[in-house]
Amino acid sequence: MITTFIDAGAARRESDSRRVRHAFAACAVAAFVLAPLLLSPTRSLAQKRRGASARGAKVKESPRAVEASLVREAAAHLQAGRLDEAEAAVRSALAADARDPEAHALLGVIHGQRGRAGEAEAELREALRLDPRSTSALTNLGVLLVRTNRADEAVKTFEEAVLIAPDHAEATYNLGSLYAARGEFKRAIPLLERAAGVKAGRPAGPPEGGRELPAILLLVTAYLRDGRGKDAQPLVEMIERDGAADARQTFSLALALAEGGDYAQAVRFFELTNRLRPNTFEVLYNLGVALLNLDRLDEARKALQDAATLKPEDAEVFFRLGVVASAKGESENALGLWQRTLKLRPEYAEGYFMIAEELVKNQRNERAFPFYERAVALDPSQGIYHVRLGVAHFRARRYAQARETFENALKRLPDNATLQYLVGYAARAEGQFDVALGAFRRALELEPNNADAYANLGFLTAERGQHEEAERLLRRALALSPENYPATYDLGRLLVRLKRYDEALPLLERGARIEQSDPGVHYQLFLVYSRLKRKADADRELAIFKKLEEARKDSDAGGASVKTEQLPPPDAASPARGGATPARKPPGI
Q: Is residue 135 part of a domain?
A: yes
pLDDT band at 528 (very low <50, low <70, confident <90, very high): very high
> Is 115 strand, coil or helix?
coil
Q: How many domains does the chain have?
A: 2
Residues found in the chain:
589
Domain that holds residue 62: 33-179
CATH number at residue 473: 1.25.40.10
Angle between helix axes 135-147 and 169-181 (nearest 10 degrees) is 30
Nearest to 22 by CA among 572, 422, 577: 577
pLDDT of residue 73: 83
Neighbours of 274 (CB within 10 A): 21
Task: Give the helix, strand, coil percentages of the chain, each rounded to 5.
Answer: 70, 5, 25
User: Which of 75-89, 402-416, 442-456, 489-503 is predicted least confidently?
Assistant: 75-89
Q: Mean pLDDT of all residues in the chain?
A: 83
Does the residue 475 lie in any domain?
yes
Q: Quote the distance between the C-alpha of residue 47 and its chain's center.
A: 43
Neighbours of 240 (CB within 10 A): 16
Q: Is residue 500 domain-resident? A: yes
Contacts of 233 (CB under 8 A, 6+ apart): 201
* 352 Cα distance to chain centroid: 20
User: Residue 508 domain-assigned?
Assistant: yes
Backbone φ and ψ for 362, nearest 5 degrees, come out as -105, 25
Q: Is residue 204 part of a domain?
A: no
What are 435-452's pLDDT values in tens digits? 999 999 999 999 999 999
Q: Does 116 fall in a domain?
A: yes
38 falls within a domain: yes
The model's pLDDT over 459-480, given as tens digits with 9 standing for 90+, comes to 999 999 999 999 999 999 999 9
pTM over 0.75: no
In the listed set 150, 179, 208, which residue is the last one of a domain according to the structure? 179
- The more confident residue out of 19 and 472 is 472
- Cβ-contact 21, 292 below 8 angstroms: yes
Which of 434, 485, 503, 506 minimizes the C-alpha distance to 463?
434
Cα distances (angstroms) measured from residue 407 to each of 103, 328, 429, 473 = 51, 35, 15, 25
> Phi and psi of 422, rounded to 5°?
-65, -35
Examine residue 271 and state whether it is found in any structural domain, yes or no. Answer: no
Query: Residue 227's CB: how many other CB atoms inside 10 A?
Result: 10
Determine contact, residues 586/281, Cβ cutoff 8 Å.
yes
The pLDDT-based confidence of 246 (bands split at 50, 70, 90) is confident
User: 414 φ, ψ to 5°?
Assistant: -65, -20
Of 146, 179, 212, which closes a domain? 179
